[in-house]
Chains A and B, each alone.
Chain A
Amino acid sequence: MGTNTRLSGNEAVAYAMKQINPDVMGAFPITPSTEIPQYFASYIANGEVDTEFVPVESEHSAMSTCIGASAAGARAITATSSAGLAFMWELLYVAASSRLPIVMAVVNRALTGPININNDHSDSMGCRDTGWIQIYAENNQEVYDNYLQAMPIAEHCRLPVMICQDGFITSHALANIQLLEDEEVRGFVGEYNPEHYLLNPQEPLAVGPYGVSPYYMEIKKAQAEAMKDARERIRQVGKDFGELSGRFYDMIEEYRMEDAEFAVVVIGSSAGTGKAAVNMLRERGVKAGLVKLRVFRPFPREELAAALSGCRAVAVMDKAEGFSGCGGPVFAETRSALYDAETRPLMVNYVYGLGGRDVTTDTFETVFDALQKIAEDGHVGETYRHIGVREE
C-alpha cells in the first residue's frame, strides 16, 4: 500500500483533492495557494475528476459558491491565503453557523500591511473565532494526511474545516511523501450523503433563516456544543487514519515531553525546527521538550494542561501578532488552559517569524536558554516578547 514520491505541499493537497473527487470547487488565485486550484484545474481538464470548477471573481464569491453548493448537497472545497481569507470573512461565519461541512485549504501567509507574501499565521489566527475547525501541519506529509481527514471530520460534525499549511515552506518546498492508493482514500473518505439538502425534491428546505433574538443565542449555543463535540471525532478520525496509513494523529503531539522541564508550544512547520533544537539540547543534558498544536479549533485545553503542568518553564510561540498588548492568541489560550491545573509552569510568550522572518534552531536555543534562566530566577519577568527582531 501507498506510493513513495516527492511533492510540494500544494501539489499534495491538490492530489488529495483529486483522489477524493469532490463535487464543486469555487476558487480564486492568491499567492501562495494559487497552485492548488491550478493543479486541480488541470486534473479537471484532463478528465481525471468530474468536479464542477467555478472560476469566481473573488474569494468572497469563492466562499459563497461553496456555501451554495454545500447547502445544495455537494461536497464543496476551496483554497486561499492571506487577504483572500480576509475577503471571505463574513461568509466564514455564514458557512459555520449554517453548519455546512466545507473544506478549505489555507496556505498561511501574512496579512497586509505592510504587504507581504510570506508565511505567518495572521490570516487563520485572525479568523480563529469564526466557528471553523482549524488543523495545522508540520510538513508536506501532514498536509496531505490532514486533508484526507478533513471531510470525515467536517461531515460528521457538520462544521467547516480549514486545513492549514505554511506558505512556501510546506506549500512550495518539495519533500518525500507517502501517498495512499486511490481506493484507500475513497474507502476512508467515503461517499457524502447529507441528511438534508436543497436539491432534494422530497423535502423543501430553508437554509440560513433569520435568527431573531429569541432564537439566535440557542443557535450559537448549539454551534458551540458542536465544536466541543468535534474533539472526540477528530481523535477518532486521527486514530482510524493511523490504522490505515501507519501515521496516527491526535489533537496535539508531544515530543520528548516525558520528563521535560522546559518546553515550547508551537504550531506548524516551525515544530520541525523546534524538534531539532530539542534533540541538540537533550544531547547537552537539558531536559527540553516540545508540544505541537495540531488542532487549534477546537482548542485542546485538557491535553495541553496534562502535557505542560509538570514543566518548570514553558514558552508559547505565536506566529501572529494579536495586538492585545499582552501577547499572542496561542499564548493567551495556552496560559488559560493551565489555570485549572494543580501545578503550573512559569510561562512566557514569544511572537516570532512574522512575514516570513527566519526561524532556526538558534531561535529555539535562545528560547530554551531563557526558559532555564526563568526557572532559576523563579519569575518570568516580561511575558510578552518578540524574537528575531532587530532592536537597540
Chain B
Amino acid sequence: MFRSAKDINERSTWQELTPGAEIYEPATSKLVMTGEWRTMTPVFDPERCKQCMLCVPYCPDASIPVKDGKRTDTDLDHCKGCGICAKVCPFEAIRMELGGK
C-alpha cells in the first residue's frame, strides 16, 4: 500500500493511514505548518541586510530561503520564532516582534 503524505491529514480515517504510520517519501516535514507554533515573529529589514548569510545556516528550521545568492523574507509557514537569526545578525536587520502573522 502506498499513500502519499500529502493525502494524509487530520480528517483521514484509520483505514486511510499506512501500517505503523509509515511515511514512504522524504521531506514531508514541509507539509507540517510549524509556523503555527510561533509566538515571536522575525521581521526582516532588507535595507539593513548586507547579505552576509550568517542567519541562513543558523536557522534550525531551514526557514530562510536563499534565491540567486541572496536571502529573501523568512518562510513564516515553518519558522517557529526561536529568534536565533535576530541574535546572530551583526547588522540588526532582523528584530523579533510579539505575535505577528
Listed in ascending order, the chain A residues whose CB lies under 8 Å from chain B are: 97-100, 158, 195-196, 203-209, 211, 214-215, 217-219, 221-222, 225-226
Contact = CB atoms under 8 A, between A and B. Distances in A.
Given A214-B10, A225-B14, A219 B21 contact: yes
A205 to B, nearest CB: 6
Contacts of A196: 22, 24
Contact of A205 (B1, B13, B17, B22): B22
A96 to B, nearest CB: 9
A100 B22 CA distance: 11
A221 B15 CA distance: 9
Contacts of A206: 22-23, 28
A211 B24 contact: no
Contacts of B24: 196, 203-205
A218 B17 contact: yes
Contacts of B14: 217-219, 221-222, 225
A218 B20 contact: no
A108 to B, nearest CB: 28
Contacts of A98: 20
B96 to A, nearest CB: 27
A99 B1 CA distance: 14
Contact of A219 (B10, B17, B23, B25): B17
Contacts of A225: 14
Contacts of B20: 97-100, 158, 207-208, 219
A381 B19 CA distance: 47
A97 B1 CA distance: 17
Contacts, number: 51
Given A206-B28, A214-B10, A222 B23 contact: no
B13 A99 contact: no
Contacts of B4: none
Nearest to A97: B20
Query: SS class of chain B's interface: helix, strand, loop or mixed?
Result: loop
A160 to B, nearest CB: 11
Contacts of A207: 20, 22
Contacts of B69: none
A215 B21 contact: yes
A209 B21 contact: yes
Contacts of A219: 14, 17, 20-21
Contacts of A100: 20
7 contacts: A99-B19, A100-B20, A203-B24, A203-B25, A204-B26, A205-B24, A221-B14
Contact of B17 (A158, A203, A204, A215): A215
Given A99-B20, A218-B17, A222-B19, 15 more contacts: A100-B20, A158-B19, A196-B22, A196-B24, A204-B24, A205-B23, A206-B28, A208-B20, A209-B21, A209-B22, A209-B23, A215-B10, A218-B13, A221-B14, A222-B14
Interface in B15-40: 15, 17, 19-26, 28
A209 B22 CA distance: 7
Nearest to A216: B21
Give the residue among A100, A203, A214, A222 with the most B Cβ atoms within 10 A: A222
A207 B18 CA distance: 11
Given A218-B13, A222-B14, A225-B14, A204 B21 contact: no
Nearest to B12: A218
A195 B20 CA distance: 13
Contacts of B25: 203-204
Contacts of B13: 218
Nearest to B19: A99
Nearest to B27: A204
B17 to A, nearest CB: 5
Contacts of B1: 195
Contacts of B21: 208-209, 211, 215, 219
Nearest to A218: B14
A38 B60 CA distance: 47
Interface in B48-98: none
A98, A99, A207, A218, most chain B CB atoms within 10 A: A218
A218 B15 CA distance: 8
B36 to A, nearest CB: 12
A211 B13 CA distance: 14
Nearest to B10: A214
Contacts of A204: 24-26
Query: Closest 5 CB pairs between A and B?
Result: A99-B20, A218-B14, A206-B23, A204-B26, A221-B14
